[in-house]
A and B are shown apart, each in its own frame.
Chain A
Amino acid sequence: AQSVAQPEDQVNVAEGNPLTVKCTYSVSGNPYLFWYVQYPNRGLQFLLKYITGDNLVKGSYGFEAEFNKSQTSFHLKKPSALVSDSALYFCAVRDTLVSGNTGKLIFGQGTTLQVKP
């Protein structure tokens, strides 16, 4: 079964410092991986996704993610954090069915990013 783990409940960084939010996955077959961000009382906003090929994926708001097949990881990164990046971040993997395609995403538990001035 597909699964996603976000090992850190919270990540604290100072504004201007680089940030990393960790994600590891377990899939059978090709991994289709996604990062979303959620601000308080809002839905999820898409940040980026992994498409086979380039291991470094660039996304919205200066975020990027590094896909590492040997470590089954897909960590979210940003070179210089902003206070406005403080939010809840979710890593997700597309589920697969024996019967065929599915739109279901399996989410990690989420990581709260706190960026302090």
Chain B
Amino acid sequence: KAGVTQTPRYLIKTRGQQVTLSCSPISGHRSVSWYQQTPGQGLQFLFEYFSETQRNKGNFPGRFSGRQFSNSRSEMNVSTLELGDSALYLCASSLVGEGTDTQYFGPGTRLTVL
């Protein structure tokens, strides 16, 4: 099976712009979670989608949003970019996203905000 794919792999934006990141889960996986990774804060949970519904949300401002499509593909959007949004954004998919269900991560999208 193909793994989790994320596009684009690298992005450079300027402050105030908006960005959309895409994630294609492993075939058959219905849960998609997003994480932000920075050197200072480590890995922080953004949100999780299951069957097109946001099931859980982390502690991020409303500028961060996401959605999931009927084929389980997911997008996240960041509006009005700030310098502090520079990070590696990781997407993870799992069958149903609960208990011992394993999350498999994509390679990430490296976002740089200038």
Contacts and interface: CB of A to CB of B under 8 A. Distances in A.
Interface of A: 32, 34, 36, 41-46, 49-51, 90, 94-95, 97, 101-110
Contacts, number: 74
Interface in B49-64: 50, 55-56, 58
Interface residues of B, number: 30
Given A41-B110, A90-B43, A103-B92, 8 more contacts: A34-B103, A42-B108, A46-B104, A51-B100, A102-B98, A104-B48, A105-B92, A107-B35
A105 B33 CA distance: 9
Given A32-B99, A94-B99, A97-B56, A103 B105 contact: no
Interface in B29-54: 31, 33, 35, 42-43, 45, 48, 50
Contact of A103 (B4, B33, B43, B107): B33
Interface of B: 4, 6, 31, 33, 35, 42-43, 45, 48, 50, 55-56, 58, 90, 92, 94, 96-108, 110
B94 A103 contact: yes
